[in-house]
Amino acid sequence: TISQKALYFSPSPARKRRTPSPEPADQVTGMAAATEESGDAATSPAKKAWTEQDEPGTPPSSPLSAEQLAARNVPVGFEGSSKGRLRGEFRKPYFSKLMGFVAEERKHCTVYSPQRQVFTWTPMCDIRDENVVVLGQDLYHGPNQAHGLCFSVQSPAPPPPNLENIYKELSTDIEGFVHSGHGDLSARAKQGVLLLNAVVTVRTHQASSHKERGWEHVSWQNQNSDGLVFLLWGSYVQKDSATDCPSLPLSVYRGFFGCRHFSKTNELLWKSGKKPIGWKEL
């Protein structure tokens, strides 16, 4: 395990992978179940599927599968292979409460990322092909910045200071890297770099305003962590780890410049038989 400046690697052990046992079809909790209450008791989606009819006199509709029931709880904009692997998170009570909090916030103030961009990373790469996890802390809280990928901004917004510092480190670490002039990191996400913030929503101009509301409990990445390289950038995301990578951009001279995270990541991927990341692609 490597833990220098918040770069660590989980080597692939030689063991058989166990196939997870199927979840029972009637195990339903979370947002959908929480909103089905009527009268003295709540009617679960599974029971409702058995009892509702399309029209009077027609046979009862078929019961919904566990996957169909879980799909009712999938957040807006959550797409791709991650839906199936993370459906268990969506059914947990804390996630229902978290979604309710964010929805209420959007009624009274501007919240970033925009609702359909909170989970921008989900359709960009199959979750089984994710090899690198970059974890930042709070996302950008200004207009036209946050769009669901940590440290990334879409054109025409200029790269923020912390992203400029990342580019500076790339230019000294990766031979041939040229600053593109924009801040959109989608090309990295499509290569299998999971770009996440510890907290993925925020009030406009109020940094950390959605901290400790539940986002920190979500386990987004692939449940199989064999061979993943983790880059933890920011003191908040490192509080439970034995790493010392400073926050960006204010502490770059205390350790980020010269850390060579990008070339070290590719070296680890190559040693584990995985394709290195094309860091020059923007």
The catalytic residues are 138
Q: Provide the 8-state DSSP code for 1.
A: -
The Cα 158–Cα 145 span in angstroms is: 9
Tokens of 236: 């908040």
The Cα 261–Cα 8 span in angstroms is: 10
Instruction: Tell me how far CA of residue 197 lies from CA of 83, 177, 210, in angstroms.
Output: 18, 25, 12
Residues found in the chain: 282
Helix ranges (DSSP H) in the chain: 31-34, 45-51, 66-71, 82-90, 93-108, 161-173, 186-190, 261-271
What's the sign of the alpha-carbon dihedral 127, 133, 137, 142? negative
Instruction: Tell me how far CA of residue 104 lies from CA of 100, 184, 197, 204, in angstroms.
Output: 6, 29, 21, 15
Which of 104, 149, 90 is closest to 124 using CA atoms? Answer: 149
Provide the 3-class DSSP secondary structure of residue 123: coil
Tokens of 201: 């929503």
